[in-house]
A and B are shown apart, each in its own frame.
Chain A
Amino acid sequence: MNMPVWLEKTEYSLLPQAATRRRRADYLEKTLADVQKTMAEELDYTASAVRPGLLQQLNPRVKLVGMAFVLLAVALTGSLTVLVIIHGLLLLAALSSRIGWKAYLLRTWLPAVLFTGLTMLPGIFNWFTPGQPLVIIYQGLNWHVGPVTLPAELTITMQGLTVATLVLLRSAASLGVAVLLVKTTRWPVLTKALAGLGLPGLFVTVLDLTYRYLFLFLLLLSEYLWGRQSRLAGRERTGAKWEWIGGAVAGFLRLAGEYSREITASMQARGYNGSNHQVLVSRIGMADIWFFALTVLLLAATLGGTQLVRIHGV
């Protein structure tokens, strides 16, 4: 079949002048940028996990157990001082593991403040947590909002602020432990360590596959977004983006289904029976013994301190 006449014509001409006014990226462009950023961050996590540093050199199982002790201490303590000390230790561990303080604080405090902080915010007021007033916002007023009469005073209470700070510090410390763990341990090593500590093989396999295929799907999503972008030869009509999103979601579900069937078949072909046979070769050194001892000490001190507070009401 001959080439269509219109396709035989090739026109080379200059491009028009691009507008100098800045336009904000639309949500699909932002999604593409975010996907790229997430993949770069994932690569950064892997690079950080193999960097020489304090936590990177530890035996992954010892590190996992030690971090679990720290988490336990964070959950059990009711003392703000102990929590501040734990935060200090976590920051020190981050710096010694060559994780920049900015990166560490951003990943722990930003989500903690945004999620836990905002959730706990109402709790600092006397309407939710009665107690000793610390800051009086108003007092002795008789305000009505429609049929509702507001309480005569609004104050920030000592008890409310203490509880909110405690929860916020606990949440940030827990996030800090998680950040340190994933930034200093490669994911496959972490899952092998979990398997070594008795997590069933099926869960470990699911965790491994999830991680592996999340990355693959992010890559695929980038290609989808680029594929669409490369074919936008004119102004999009209204609703075209939504049609594309619908098509892309359907395409993804179909591909995910195809992948999962093929993965299952290939695993079965290699004799997979639900158990995980990955071997983690790692020795226990002096650094591991020190780390373990310190975390046990921290947990014991926290438990001891908590008991003292209970007995003596300090």
Chain B
Amino acid sequence: MFESMVFDLRDVHYNYRPGEASLVNINLQIMAGERVVLLGPNGCGKSTLQKVLAGLIFPQGEVRAFGSAITAHGMRDKDFAAAFRRKVGFVFQNADVQIFCASVLDEIMFGPLSMGMSVAEARDRAEDLLEHVGITALADRLPHHLSGGEKKKVAIAAVLAVNPAVLILDEPTNGLDPRTQRWMLDTLAELSAAGKTIITATHQLDIVPELAGKVVVMGESHTILAEGGPTKVLGDRELLLAANLIDERYHVHIHGGDGHVHIHQHLSEGERK
């Protein structure tokens, strides 16, 4: 039953080919307004799980979103799929794959126009976002002429244009310079404060405390190894080692009562010289 539960996954399994599991026995509930970080090493199934949540691939088991079963058959109903897409936005790791319009402005107007907004309304919305994201000067540029960070901003603005309640982001800070990375983290915090559900996949431990209210750790076995608050999960050295998220040299420090966490590497004597 849907009250504040946005996603409910039960006994989910997914194979790209027989005998090669990408997701194994996934049981996961995500509540409205939660900030969830899917944490795991490369190839553990984080992106696959996000695609399941975004209604792009359809696994074995039960996937429910906003009270309805999400199935391949159901998503072929254009109206149902459109209603789902208005609620769930997905920002791909590679911004190039989701940018397909002739200009940045067209790109951001695409969602509102396909929702049935008038051109004037869609343009207002796009201009709001261009300004908010800080890319007004890029409005008429060709998307493929932009830098990696700019493309990421365009991709996020394009997804936000339909004002989804859930935002799924695959490795959002990957390949970004420190300033754009900071912008990304601040934007996600702002969106979370506005009540959006944010589901982020990453293997970067240092951004987890800022991004997560709940951390879901996935292992190389393609299963969920643990779930919990960032302080608890990041403080569990054995778990992080088992999930191949840290090596022997990494240390996690939890400071004071505020649960502030930081992670860093200790160098050996030889490396310091």
Contacts and interface: CB of A to CB of B under 8 A. Distances in A.
Tell me, yes or no, whether A binds B.
Answer: yes
Interface string B108-119: 001101111000
Given A39-B16, A247-B100, A3 B66 contact: no
A280 B74 CA distance: 51
Interface stretch (B126-134, B173-181, B224-232, B264-272): B126-134
Contacts of A25: 76
B80 A16 contact: yes
Nearest to B194: A8
Given A229-B56, A248-B100, A15 B190 contact: no
Contacts of B51: 226
Interface stretch (A114-122, A133-141, A231-239, A264-272): A231-239
Contacts of B27: none
Contact of A236 (B16, B19, B114): B114
A9 interface: yes
Given A18-B68, A23-B76, A227-B100, A233 B94 contact: no
Given A4-B129, A12-B6, A233 B162 contact: yes
A223 B194 contact: no
Contacts of B152: none
* Interface range on chain B (Cβ under 8 Å from partner): 35 or more
Interface in A1-44: 1-4, 6-19, 22-25, 29, 36, 39-40, 43-44
Given A226-B97, A247-B102, A14 B66 contact: yes
Given A12-B32, A15-B80, A251-B144, A233 B96 contact: no
Given A6-B125, A15-B67, A22-B73, A232 B82 contact: yes
Contact of A230 (B6, B90, B114, B191): B90
Contacts of A12: 4, 6, 32, 66, 165
Contacts, number: 154
A247 B132 contact: no
Contact of A40 (B17, B96, B134, B195): B17
Contact of B165 (A11, A23, A228, A230): A11
A230 B96 contact: no
A285 to B, nearest CB: 29
B84 A43 contact: no
Among A18, A39, A229, A237, which residue has the most Cβ atoms of chain B within 10 A? Answer: A18
20 contacts: A1-B131, A2-B132, A3-B194, A4-B129, A7-B191, A8-B194, A9-B194, A12-B66, A15-B66, A15-B67, A17-B68, A22-B73, A23-B76, A39-B16, A44-B17, A223-B92, A223-B94, A230-B85, A231-B114, A235-B82
Interface of A: 1-4, 6-19, 22-25, 29, 36, 39-40, 43-44, 47, 220, 223-224, 226-237, 240, 244, 247-248, 251, 254-255
Given A10-B165, A15-B66, 20 more contacts: A1-B134, A4-B128, A6-B125, A6-B163, A9-B194, A14-B2, A15-B80, A15-B83, A44-B18, A47-B17, A224-B97, A226-B92, A227-B92, A231-B111, A231-B162, A232-B81, A233-B82, A247-B101, A251-B144, A255-B96
